[in-house]
Amino acid sequence: MTMTATSQNTHHDWLGLAGKVCVVNGAASGIGAAIATALAERGAHVALLDRNAQGCETLQQALSHLPGRRFSVSCDIADEHQVKAAANAVFREFGACEALVNAAGILRSVNLADIELADWNTLLSVNLNGYLLCAREFGRQMRHAGAGSIVHISSIAAHHPQPYSGAYTPSKAAVSALSQQLAVEWGPHGVRSNCVAPGMIRTALTAAYYDHPGITEAREGFTATRRIGTPEDIANAVLFLLSERASYITGSEVAVNGGLSCMLMGKIPRPGFSASAD
């Protein structure tokens, strides 16, 4: 079957994101950069927020050939004044925000018995407080318009604690709860709030893990799909939730982990219940 130009364009913009004002924090690298790129590929106007200003500017240049417009803003989302300034700057550049992605995050490798309170507070200030601050400032614009969508990047760790990660698991569990609270309070104002919970995703932050012999194969064996995820896998889920195709989805969490979360029982020895794959 031959597709007409009109049907091709409709198919390309199936999510209806072209021309929408979208804000992505943590956009300079990793999952945030993949989400920003995917939005730009679909013609959205994308504001790139990160405390790594150079990283945002580099990505902005890399996306310059794509439709829509990009705007780079240096912003530490843990700083309330910087978030307010960023929201005002985006409004002046693009108009009201229609979609927000909270993707920034940090990790500290330390157990709870040893973590310094300052490190605990630093992690929560980004992973949780920063999400609230961005939701409040950009969400104010959405509520005024009577429509909008927010997606928060949580983690499989929110429900399956990982050892020696200190405040990371509590922070991500709190993000899931924050998302639901926002859905309840802002749903009557036309604003949806959802989470995407990644599993094992290979980014620059985790790339060093896979330099160790056998680690890639061992990790792949813990997923139903037998592969490690990519930032693009997360971006695909986020874009759907941001779109009007997901207009009746709010307060939900989408696990994007290749089936990692359903593999537990298969790793427990049960004599007589083993079977080779066919």
Residues acting as catalytic residues: 168
Q: Output the six-digit token pair for 31.
A: 């999952």
72 CB burial (10 A radius; 0-12, 13-18, 19+)? buried
Q: Which residues pair with 163 in a beta bridge?
A: none
Checking 219-225 for CB contacts under 8 A at 24+ apart, the result is 222/260, 222/263, 222/267, 223/199, 223/257, 223/258, 223/259, 223/260, 223/263, 224/258, 224/259, 224/260, 224/262, 224/263, 225/258, 225/259
